[in-house]
Structures are given as structure tokens and as C-alpha cells.
Amino acid sequence: MAETTTQTAAVPAPYAEDAVTAAAERRGEPAWLVERRREAARAFAATPMPTPALRPWKYTDVTALDIGGFAPVGQSPTTVQGTPPAGGFAGSLADALADAAHAEQVRQHLGTLVPATEGKFTAANQALWTGGAYVYVPRGQAFEQPVVVTLDVPAGDAGAVFPRLLLVAEAQGEVNVVLRNTSGDAPLLAPGVFEIFAGPDAKVRVLVDGRWGDATQEFTTIRSRLDRSADVLVASLALGGRVVKQTTEALLEGDGANSTIRGVALGDGEQHFDFVTLQDHSGEHTTSDVAIKSALAGASKSIYYGITRVGETAAGAEANQENRNLLLSGRAKADSDPVLEILTSQVIRCGHAATVGPVDQEALFYLQSRGLSSRQALQLMVAGFFRTVLAGIPLEGLEEDVSAVVVEKLATAEL
């Protein structure tokens, strides 16, 4: 009894093992999942919060963040829209688990690429996710239209949501997925876990379209495992939120695999963005390309820490990392740290580039000399700055959509 009391004090009710188990059983989850949730709850209790002493957390100090203070927001308000090809699936994880044709695939993959034990936020997610999405592409099949996963937290709902995606693309499978996240102005915590399995020659495009409210804090791990000649693109739009921290990793295991990581962040006020990327090459002739761009107004901040790792077995690898930060106000800040770890001498090309600075004054004058006010000129320049990163993401209207957000946000931003 005394022991239970101690545990309750350390881990608030919804995150405690008993509560996690009871909630999972109430949802009628299979025994294996209930067991994994229990493990996750134990991992959550045992894992300390990351501290700035850990390099990926150097500029995002969460030691004062009390995850337990954010109670889960009822049933996670997620909808999944998509028409799968024969034998495929696009829907909630709960529906997939209830479907005998898909439950086994889910069991074999869920939580295996991003284990709950990896960290505080991943443990919280594994223990408490509801309404996650599952996308399955059978061998040689393709989704004709993008799968759209919408997480729309109603304005006024405070607490925690746990975005979750499991994507399994078999050999030669093709799919585009868009994850749209929105929330109101109430304090919200969103620890997300996205797992992407790309089989041989599979082609997967995932766009995370983040338009959180001003008091949302997102901590997401996105990891993809690429088989032979698989091609995976993960792109992120960080257009809202108070804190957006995303760790995007590509494990290039199969020979000839190709990973593309793209990111765009538009900050104002006290917004804080933190991107961590890993391009882990172990297959031969693997290629990867990271490009992340931030435009920062007000006192917003953007941090980039990216690692390109080329293992001993990755002869013939090619990798590129690019991080560019535009400071639109004197109070905005950015830190950029691209890192190369090359363990083989047989690399074709490994490049990295990082810049932090104000907008090009000559370009600004050029646009002003054509009648645009300095604010209009910046709107145009920032939209263009992002456009060069978004080109190549096969989603109709994306560039126009992002340009419209830039124009709207910079209309009132502190410059």
C-alpha cells in the first residue's frame, strides 16, 4: 500500500501503470498491446526527463516541464481519410487491431522502430496513445490519393494528445500521407511517435503539417527504416505551436535506399523550434538529403542539430545536409550544428551547409524599388525561401498554401 502511494506521488494517475492498464483494458485492446502499454508506463516512471546535458536537448530545456500535469484529452480527435488499394489499409490503429487481416501486421511492427524505453516522451506516447493511424500498402500497390490524417484538438481542450502513425509499405508499394495537426489556445502537450517501414523499392512521402495553437508543445520522433532501393521523404511544416521539437531519423539499411528530409519553420513571438535529424547510412550506395529552413520574427528561436552517419558498410554513400535560418527581427535567434560521422573511406560525397543571418539587404532594396513595402518584400522573400525547400513534395497546392500562411503571419509579426 505504501509502495502504491509513493508511485502515485511520483507518477500522476493517468500515466501510472495501473491507470494505463485499466484504460487499455477498457478500450478492449488485445493482451499483447496491454502488456506493451504496461511496459511503457514502467519505462515512463523509470526514465528521467532529458536534460540540456544531452546534446539533442542542449537548447530545449524541458527539466521544468511536468508531463504528468497534462491529462490525456479524452479520446484523441483523429480522423483518417484514404482509399486503400486491394489488401491495403488506411484508418485508425484501433480499427486495424479489430480487423483480423491487419492485427498481426500491427503487432509485428508497432513500437519496434521507436521503442517506448527510448525516452520519456516516447514512453508516454506508447502508454497512452489513442486514435493513432495505420497505413498499410501491399506489395506492388499504390494509393491513388494522399491519405489524410487529421488531429484537430478542439479550442479550449487542455491536456495531452499522443499523435501516432504506423506506416508499413511493402515492396514497390507507394503512398503519400499528410498529417494535419491543429489545436486551440489552451495548454496542450503533444508527444508524437511516427514509425515508417519502407520495403524494397517502396516510395513513401509523409508531410507533417503542424498548425498548433499558441500554447501547444510538441515533442515528436519520426523514424523510418528503408529497405533496398526504398525512397522515403519526410517533410515538416512547423507553422504554429509554442514549442515544436522534432527528431526525424532515416535508417538507410538497404542498398540503394534514398531518404529526403525537409523542414520549414515560421516563428514569431516566443515560438521555439528544435529540429534534430539523423541520416544513418549502413547500406551501400545509399543517398540522403536534409534541408531545413527557418524564418524567425519576434523573439522566436530555431535550433538545428543534424547528424550524417556513414557506417563502415555504406560504401558509395552520398549525403547532404542544409540548414538555413533567416532572422527577421533583431530579437530572433538560431543555432545550427550539422555533424558528419564518416566511418568509411569510400564515400562519394558528403556535404553540409549552415547559415544564420538577416535577409539579403540588396534583395530587400530590389523589391522595395519595385514598390513593395519592406513588410511586403519580406513576405515575398520568405515565401520564396520556403518554396525552394517545398518544391518536390508531390502535394497539389502546397506551395500556395504555405505562401498564404507566410503572408498572413508576417502581416502582423514583429520584424
Partner 1 sequence: MSEPILELRDLRVSITEHPDIQIVKGVDLTIRPGEVHALMGPNGSGKSTLANAVAGSPAYKLDSGQILFKGEDVTAMTADARARMGMFLSFQYPTAIPGVTMVNFLREALKARRGQEMPAREFLGELRETLGTLKMDESFARRYVNDGFSGGEKKRAEILQLGMLKPDLAILDETDSGLDVDALRTVAEGVNALRTPHIGILIITHYQRILNYITPEVVHVLVEGRIARSGGAELALEIEENGYDPILRELGAVEEVVS
* 8 A C-beta contact, residue 18 and residue 35: no
Whole-angstrom Cα distance, residue 319 to residue 351?
6
395 binds partner 1 (CB under 8 A): no
- C-alpha dist (Å) from residue 200 to 88, 137, 146, 160, 255: 17, 12, 21, 36, 9
DSSP state of 72: B
- Shortest Å, Cβ 397 to partner 1: 15
366 binds partner 1 (CB under 8 A): yes
**Binding residue for partner 1 (CB under 8 A) from 270, 312, 341, 360?**
360
Whole-angstrom Cα distance, residue 126 to residue 55?
24
Which x/- pattern, by CB under 8 A, does the window 59-98 give for partner 1? ----------------------------------------
* Stretch touching partner 1 by CB under 8 A, among 45-53, 76-84, 126-134, 378-386: 378-386
* Stretch touching partner 1 by CB under 8 A, among 147-155, 158-166, 207-215, 368-376: 368-376
- Shortest Å, Cβ 371 to partner 1: 3
Whole-angstrom Cα distance, residue 350 to residue 88?
37
Lateral strand order in the sheet of 78-81: 78-81, 147-152, 174-182, 203-211, 231-238, 258-267, 287-296, 318-327, 349-358
Q: Minimal CA–CA distance to 127: which of 19, 31, 266?
A: 19
370 binds partner 1 (CB under 8 A): yes
381 binds partner 1 (CB under 8 A): yes
372 binds partner 1 (CB under 8 A): yes
357 binds partner 1 (CB under 8 A): no
330 binds partner 1 (CB under 8 A): no
- What does the block give as the cell for 225? 527504416
396 binds partner 1 (CB under 8 A): no
Radius of gyration in angstroms for the set of CA atoms belonging to the chain, rounded to a whole number = 21
**Binding residue for partner 1 (CB under 8 A) from 387, 395, 405, 414?**
387
Positive/negative CA dihedral, 51, 65, 71, 13: positive
386 binds partner 1 (CB under 8 A): yes
358 binds partner 1 (CB under 8 A): no
265 binds partner 1 (CB under 8 A): no
- Shortest Å, Cβ 380 to partner 1: 6
C-beta of 285 vs 375, nearer to partner 1:
375
**Binding residue for partner 1 (CB under 8 A) from 9, 330, 349, 361?**
361
Whole-angstrom Cα distance, residue 288 to residue 277?
11
- Report the half-sphere exposure of 80 (CA within 13 A, side-chain side): 26
* Stretch touching partner 1 by CB under 8 A, among 66-74, 86-94, 103-111, 385-393: 385-393
| Cα distance from N-terminal residue to C-terminal residue, the chain | 58
**Binding residue for partner 1 (CB under 8 A) from 31, 362, 396, 397?**
362
> To the nearest 10°, the Cα dihedral for 363, 305, 182, 119?
180
C-beta of 32 vs 366, nearer to partner 1:
366
How big is the CA angle at 19 (ends 14 and 22), to the nearest 5 degrees? 135
137 binds partner 1 (CB under 8 A): no
* Contacts to partner 1 by CB under 8 A: 360-363, 365-374, 376-377, 380-381, 383-388
